[in-house]
Structure 1
Amino acid sequence: MGNVSSDGYFIYDLKHQVFSYFNTALCRIFGLTEEGALTVDQLREKIHVEDLVHVANCYQELLEDGGAKKYVFRISLADGVRYLKSNLSCADGAGHIYGIVEDITVEQENKIHIEQINARKNITLEVLSHDLKEPLAMIRMTASSIQSNIRQMEEKDLRNSLQFISEMCERNLKLVRSMVNHEFIKSAVVAIKKERADLVWELKDVVRFYSRSHLSKVRNFSFSSPQDKIFLFLDSMKFMQVINNLVSNAIKFTRVGGNIMVQAEQRGDKVIVSVSDDGIGIPKEMRNNLFNHSKEVLRKGLKGEESGGLGMNIIKDIVDLHGGRIWVLSEEGLGTSFFIELPEQ
């Protein structure tokens, strides 16, 4: 079992100061080759410099107290810092340490990310409550004045007061939208968790949803693929957010009666997914900045739908995390096609 597990297993002989057993996963976790004997010095060299004292103290505690212990520490590898959790036992009288080492980097980074989001959320709420307090008080005061004096007010004064309320609301709605969008782009992309999935089934499910909705009365939705099944490793939830975002954008910029097509095709060791429409297209000057968070790409839909300008930026981030790439072909007046290329493995 030890040699097929992704966790590292070992038995350390305290008397002879050698590893009497270790599996291949332990070497892989520490970025070591499997040739020859494994030594404590090899592992110590990988420990993050800030955690050396911590690891030494944990080792001493284990020897003194015996029993089972759990410790978390960091190692430094060529591709960055990794977080490891060790489950250790030193309970037998033969003088051995039995250990299991697990790479918890994704879990730990997500935990840190969530803590950062919560901290920013609290700051955002404080800023909003402070910045909205005065404008809301002014709106309430103006509305109260209108309510009390509406019979005596001239039409010009009434219009001016209502215009003031309208402009104040619009200004503060923009403030709220700006802050929410700012926090959204910071927190939208976290480490992904890939699992084997049938992409054809997933895409069909998305198209079925739109085909059964009220939107099918004013748009035509279709899906096609030369393959019945395409299996690859995806974070299905996040990748389907990408597809939903692209379809949603296609709806906003496609006229009533227009067509929105989703396609998937396996080509060798790559998979190509496309979302196309025959809508109004994307102006040439907007395409270069399409995947950046730029005000130049902000535009409203055909019915005036608001756009935060963040969708494409987040889409690209999620595609990048899947080891893929995304590009667009578009011609004004004829439509737009987004293409996503993903590795099969």
Structure 2
Amino acid sequence: MQKNNIDNTNLVNRLKKMEEELERAGLLRDTLIRIVSHDIRGPMSNLKSVISLVREEQVGIEQAKEFMVTIDKGVDHTVQMLEELMEWGQAASRNKKVEQEEIILKDVIESIVKKIQPQIDDKKLDFEISGDIDAVCLFDKNAIRVVLRNLFSNAVKFTERGGQVRVKINMQDDLIVIAVSDTGIGIPDEMKANLFELKKDNKRVGTENEKSSGVGLFISKDLINQNDGTLKVEDNPDGKGTVFEFTMKRSKP
């Protein structure tokens, strides 16, 4: 009798968890559809308007070119957002088991920094990596790239020209802790409460009007959670900017 009660309790808990996951998936789906449709509609509507104006000869070619500069930025932003969502979908598919493997952080970090080096150089940032850079973590290969690229790109995007970005890797027992800090514009307190959620208010431009998709931190948080890690944000203790700190499992020799 007692065993049956335990089995029933376990079944109820499993069903409740499945219900919560389905509810969350439905909310995510609805929110994603709303965000994506809004972001795609803007550039496409503007492009259609310019084409119509040119066709009806209401504007000249030179004026149309000026309009296209603004439209081009909007399209770039939309493409970036769609790419992030596609990568998240590939790395976080509910039908796909998270495949953690041994990853040398140095290799991944250097690869990502190389891709964003033009932005680092353009803003003349002091970008420094220190600590246990040769540490080996256990993480999904695709997911770690998405997470690090989002955090590095955000630090660069929201730091003023001539500022500093620091990436520190520390091994703590069975964990690896990566802290990405910057001397940028920081994050308003009212935004921090929902920073890792799919909220339209999370979208803002960088210090030089760089576009933001508004989904990068939500994606990063979700991927880190699936790989048994944690992600938190706090003000830079040095007085200016932000620190994002996340943990991951350490591979044992």
TM over 0.5: yes
Which residue, out of 85, 105, 118, partners 1:184?
A: 85
Which residue, out of 173, 179, 185, partners 1:274?
A: 179
Q: Confirm or deny: 8 A CA contact 1:203 1:262 kept in the other structure.
A: no
Max Rg structure: 1
- 1:253–1:202 Cα change, 3 Å: same
Measure the CA separation in 2 of the matches of 1:279 and 1:144.
45
- As a proportion of its length, which structure holds more helix? 2
Which residue, out of 248, 264, 289, partners 2:194?
A: 289
**Unpaired segments of 5 or more residues in structure 2?**
1-12, 16-35
Alpha-carbon deviation of 1:212? 5.5
- 1:277–1:228 Cα change, 3 Å: closer
Alpha-carbon deviation of 1:229? 3.2
Higher relative contact order (CA 8 A, sep 6+): 2
Measure the CA separation in 2 of the matches of 1:284 and 1:303.
22
Q: Secondary structure at the match of 1:313?
A: helix
Measure the CA separation in 1 of the matches of 2:230 and 2:167.
17
Q: Confirm or deny: 8 A CA contact 1:181 1:310 kept in the other structure.
A: no
Whether 1:244 and 2:149 are equivalent positions in the alignment is yes
Residue of structure 2 in register with 1:232 after alignment: 137
Whether 1:298 and 2:200 are equivalent positions in the alignment is no
Residue of structure 2 in register with 1:219 after alignment: 125
Q: TM-score, normalising length from structure 2?
A: 0.64
Residue of structure 1 in register with 2:100 after alignment: 194
Measure the CA separation in 2 of the matches of 1:212 and 1:221.
9
CA RMSD, 1 decimal: 4.1
Alpha-carbon deviation of 1:256? 1.1
Alpha-carbon deviation of 1:342? 1.4
Alpha-carbon deviation of 1:140? 3.5
Q: Secondary structure at the match of 1:240?
A: helix
- Cα displacement string for residues 195-240 of structure 1 (whole angstroms, at most 9, x for unaligned residues): 1122244334444x26864623611111111x46322322233202
Structure 1 stretch displaced more, 212-221 or 292-301: 212-221
- 1:228–1:316 Cα change, 3 Å: closer
| Identity score, percent | 25
Structure 1 residue identity aligned to 2:99: K
Q: TM-score, normalising length from structure 1?
A: 0.49
